[in-house]
Chains A and B, each alone.
Chain A
Amino acid sequence: MITAEQKPIQEIMEYVRPYSRILLVGCNECVTVCAAGGRKEVGLLSSALQMAFMQEGKVLDVKEMTLERQCDPEYVEELAGSINQVEAVLSMACGCGVQEVARRFKEKPVYPALNTKFMGASERQGVWAERCQGCGDCVLGLTGGICPIARCSKRLLNGPCGGSSHGKCEINPDVDCAWQLIWDRLKALGLEKRYEDIAPAKDWRASRDGGPRRIIREDLAS
């Protein structure tokens, strides 16, 4: 899923300070799962903003909505009925959702309430960790199902750097060394031999280095 965290309340307040009526829009997908921008967080942020402005002697009118998916035009359309009643939109979706709202409602300022972080998985209750960088040419089949691009601090494709120590990465003892994990997994699978094949220089065009990416499915495209 795409993970996100709420921005500092001060930053959000600066965005909405010029307005007295805003639409606060959550999303029911990833940001709900990582407890950053779902219905519940929309409610909490709404009260927090209203109270904070109240202390400054200002009344902020917040209309709350949470869409099924903010990155999908079909659901974003649901905002059409309310958009004219507000001066600005504050979005609690990931960056994709914020942009979809901005694209649909060109005359309305849209602000992000979250910092979108990474594509990751939940390690345990309340902890999410990065797992994929969307490099566009997945190598997990060669690395025992552990991503060297997202999880090795130097995105090394041919094995651990000299800084790998007791299973941890040189940058921080709280970070697992991806190559220790890969090696352990290759061993468990009896695929140690695979390690000695040289992974050639990666073609980063499939990643963001090739420019903004797009998928066109002829069979589905209208």
Chain B
Amino acid sequence: MKTQSALEKVLAAGHLAVTSECGPPRGALPDKIKEKAELLRGYVDAINVTDNQTAMVRMSSFAACLFIGQMGLQPILQMVTRDRNRLAMQSDIIGAYAHGIDTMLCLTGDHPCFGDHPMAANVYDLDSIQFVQMVKIMRDEGKFQGGDEIQNPPKMFIGAAANPFGDPFELRVARLAKKVKAGADFIQTQCIYDLDRFEKWMEGVRDRGLDEKVSILAGVTPFKSVGMAKYMKNKVPGMSVPDELIKRMSGVPKDKQPEEGIKICVETMQRLKEVKGVRGFHLMAIEWEQKVPEIVERAGLHPRPLV
């Protein structure tokens, strides 16, 4: 074991892991984050806490992770390179680790133009691959990025994202290979709707043996409505939503659409379970955390293993 991470333990024991996410509130509202996290208790192995998701200011991931940790749940600290330079990132990482946070997800982050501060300076001192590399060197060599020694270095279980649906497609396996080379321990993918393209990507991943080197958690997000499905298809860059799914969602009356969305999500998970190299799921029920237990149960992933 590289770390004390609960997620690492679940994966090492050979279970399909389940993670989900909580978006922190847009204000000093500790109860909000606690309520959301409480809904997930017993149904997921760890909870991602987003970092100024879609470039909107929210309570910091670090602070929200602390609340979740105090509840006896396992937070995953998400961090984007958009808002922090390497000094700020490293100090937050050792700070988080000092508070018992041992799992993190290293991201570049959406461009500020999508959020509520499009006028902000963007940082991007590092890219996500250099970020992973930095956290690995902190952990394994006990060194800061600048080269100095760290006293009691942070032992982070290191996650990164992968988007099999971004372009150019032929580069997407190579990009994963780079993240693995940089030191990623686990991967959480972009929401999967286009199973054919995902399976094609996984084929490329397996051909290079990357699935043996990194634990891939397949990302899924249930549609709440046909409107959301269309939004995902048309408005979110680097997302692939097949037309059949839009048709399927619009084929049911409005009040039945949430159930149809959950059905699609569960079916997707069942099919993904059969894909060799998928080591678990990352369930992103955006502002719909209360549905996570049901989805986890229906996908046959409850109860969660005790590790």
Contact = CB atoms under 8 A, between A and B. Distances in A.
A163 B238 contact: yes
Contact of A163 (B122, B178, B237): B237
Interface stretch (B15-23, B98-106, B108-116, B148-156): B108-116
Contacts of A158: 127-130, 175, 178
B130 A160 contact: no
A166 interface: yes
Contact of A157 (B114, B130, B174, B177): B130
Given A159-B178, A162-B238, A201 B166 contact: no
Interface residues of A, number: 30
Contacts of A75: none
Nearest to A158: B129
Chain B CB count within 10 A is highest, among A156, A196, A200, A204, for A156
B168 interface: yes
Given A154-B82, A154-B124, A156-B127, A161 B171 contact: no
A185 to B, nearest CB: 12
B163 interface: yes
Q: Is the interface of A mostly helix, strand, loop or mixed?
A: loop
Given A162-B238, A165-B237, A198-B133, A170 B178 contact: no
Interface string A170-211: 111000010110011000000000011011110010000000
A99 interface: no
Nearest to B163: A162
Contacts of B182: 198
A160 B111 contact: no
A196 B179 CA distance: 10
Nearest to A167: B167
Interface residues of B, number: 35
A196 B174 contact: yes
B276 interface: no
Chain A CB count within 10 A is highest, among B127, B145, B162, for: B127
Contacts of B237: 163-165, 170
Contacts of A200: 130, 133
A153 interface: yes
B134 A163 contact: no
A195 B171 contact: yes
B190 A155 contact: no
A172 B114 CA distance: 10
Contact of A180 (B113, B127, B130, B168): B168
Interface in A117-171: 153-167, 170-171
A167 B171 CA distance: 13
Given A157-B130, A159-B129, A200-B130, A183 B171 contact: yes
A200 B145 CA distance: 11
Contacts of A170: 110-111, 237-238
Contact of B167 (A171, A180, A195, A198): A180
B134 A162 contact: no
Contact of A161 (B86, B108, B125): B108
A166 B86 CA distance: 31
B126 interface: yes
A100 to B, nearest CB: 27
A56 B7 CA distance: 73
B190 A162 contact: yes
A19 B167 CA distance: 56
B33 to A, nearest CB: 26
B285 interface: no
Contact of A164 (B122, B128, B166): B166
A93 B175 CA distance: 44
Contacts of A160: 166-168, 171, 175
Contacts of A195: 171, 174, 178
A152 to B, nearest CB: 9
Given A155-B124, A172-B113, 5 more contacts: A154-B127, A155-B127, A171-B111, A183-B168, A200-B130
Interface of B: 82, 86, 108, 110-111, 113-114, 122, 124-130, 133-134, 145, 161-163, 165-168, 171, 174-175, 177-178, 181-182, 190, 237-238
18 contacts: A154-B82, A156-B124, A158-B127, A158-B128, A160-B171, A161-B166, A162-B163, A162-B165, A162-B190, A167-B167, A170-B238, A171-B113, A198-B133, A198-B178, A198-B181, A201-B125, A201-B126, A204-B125
7 shortest A-B CB distances, which residue pairs?
A162-B163, A170-B237, A158-B129, A163-B237, A156-B127, A201-B130, A162-B166
